[in-house]
Amino acid sequence: MTDAIAGKAAAPAKRRVRRASSDRPWTFYVLAGFFAFYVIALYGPMISIYILSFQDVRGGLVFPMRGFSLHWFNELIMQTRTGDVSGSFRRSIYLAIAVTVITVVFSFMAGMAFRRRFRGDTIVFYLMIGSLVAPGLVLGIGIGLGFDMAGIPTNWFTSALGAQLSWTLPFGILIMFAVMSRLNGDWEEAARDLGASPAQTIRLVILPILAPGLIAVALFGFTLSYDEFARTLQTAGAQNTLPLEIWSMTLNVTSPALYALGTVSTVISFLIIGVSLGSIILLQRRNAARMNISE
C-alpha cells in the first residue's frame, strides 16, 4: 500500500521534470539557430575550398564539381602553371622554425627576469608589447624603410625575421607570464637545499615543469609566423613566403590549384597542432608517473 502511494506521488514529479526539460524558451532556439549559422559561416567556405580542390582537370573555381582527382595537387608538385610553391613553402617553414626558437628562448628568459621587480620593469613591459598596438602593415613598412636607409637589402631571413618577431615575442611573453605565475618557488628552494646549482635547477626542475607552457609558446609562435602576411609583405624582399605566394597566385593563377594549396597548408597546420598537443599529453603523463613513483 505504501509503495503504491509513493509511486503515485513520484509520478507527477517525473512528469514535471520531463515537461521542464522539453518546454524550452524561444530564446534557446534563437540562440541555437544563431550558433548554427555562425558555425556554417565560419567553416562553410573552408569546407567548400577543400572539396573543390579535388576536382578533375575540367573543374573550375565554383560548383558543381566535374569529376574527382588529385590533378591540382600534382600541379603544385610539378609547378607547371603555378608559382614557386615549393620554394615559398620551404622558406616559410625555415622562417617559422627560426621565429619559434627565438620566441621560446626569449619568452622564457623574460619570464624568469620578471619574476622579481626591478627598476623600470613597467616601461620595459610596455615596450615589449607596444608592437601589438601598431598595425602590422605600418610596422612592416617601417622596418623595410629602416633597412633601406641603412643600405641593407630586405630578405626573408633578416628583415622578415625581425618583423615577425615583433609580432610573436609579445604573445610568447604574455603566455609565459601566465605560466610563470603558477610556478611554485618552493620547488626551486628544495632543489637548492639538495645542492643543485642554478643551471641544474633550471634544467632539472623549472624546464620540466614549464614544458607544456613552452610548447604552447612554440606552437603560437610557429602558427603566427607561418601565416603572417602584413608584416612580411614589405620585408621579405624578392623571395616570397607561402602567404605572399598565395596572394600573388590570386592575381595570376585562376585554377583549383589555389584551393589545393589551401588544403595542403591546412593539413600541415593540423599535423603540427596534433604533434604539439601530443607532446603536452606525453609530458603530463610522464610527470604524473614520476610523482607516483616518488610517492
Average pLDDT of 81-85? 69
- DSSP string covering 198-249, please? HHHHIIIIIHHHHHHHHHHHHHHHHHHHHH--HHHHTTSTTS--HHHHHHHH
Number of neighbouring beta carbons within 10 Å of residue 241: 29
* Cβ atoms of residues 168 and 231 within 8 Å: no
Tell whether the model's pLDDT for residue 101 goes beyond 90. yes
Could you report the per-residue pLDDT of 217-235, keeping only the tens digit for each?
998 898 889 888 888 988 9
C-alpha grid cell, residue 27: 530564446
Q: What pLDDT was estimated at residue 84?
A: 75
Residues carrying CATH 1.10.3720.10, the chain: 83-252
The whole-angstrom separation of Cα 81 and Cα 69 is: 17
- The model's pTM is 0.76
Mean pLDDT value across residues 134-156? 87
pLDDT digits (tens, 9 = 90+) for 22-63: 578 888 889 999 999 999 998 888 888 888 888 887 777 778
pLDDT at 106: 93
**Nearest Cα to 181, choosing from 115, 247, 92, 108?**
115
Instruction: Decide if pLDDT at 8 tops 60.
Output: no
pLDDT value at 18 more than 60: no
- Confidence band of 80 (pLDDT split at 50, 70, 90): low
Q: What is the largest CA-CA distance in the chain?
A: 99
Asked if 256 and 89 touch (Cβ cutoff 8 Å), the reply is no
Class of domain 83-252: mainly alpha
* pLDDT > 60? residue 124: yes
Residues 65, 259 contacting (CB under 8 angstroms): no
Q: Which pLDDT value is given to residue 242?
A: 86
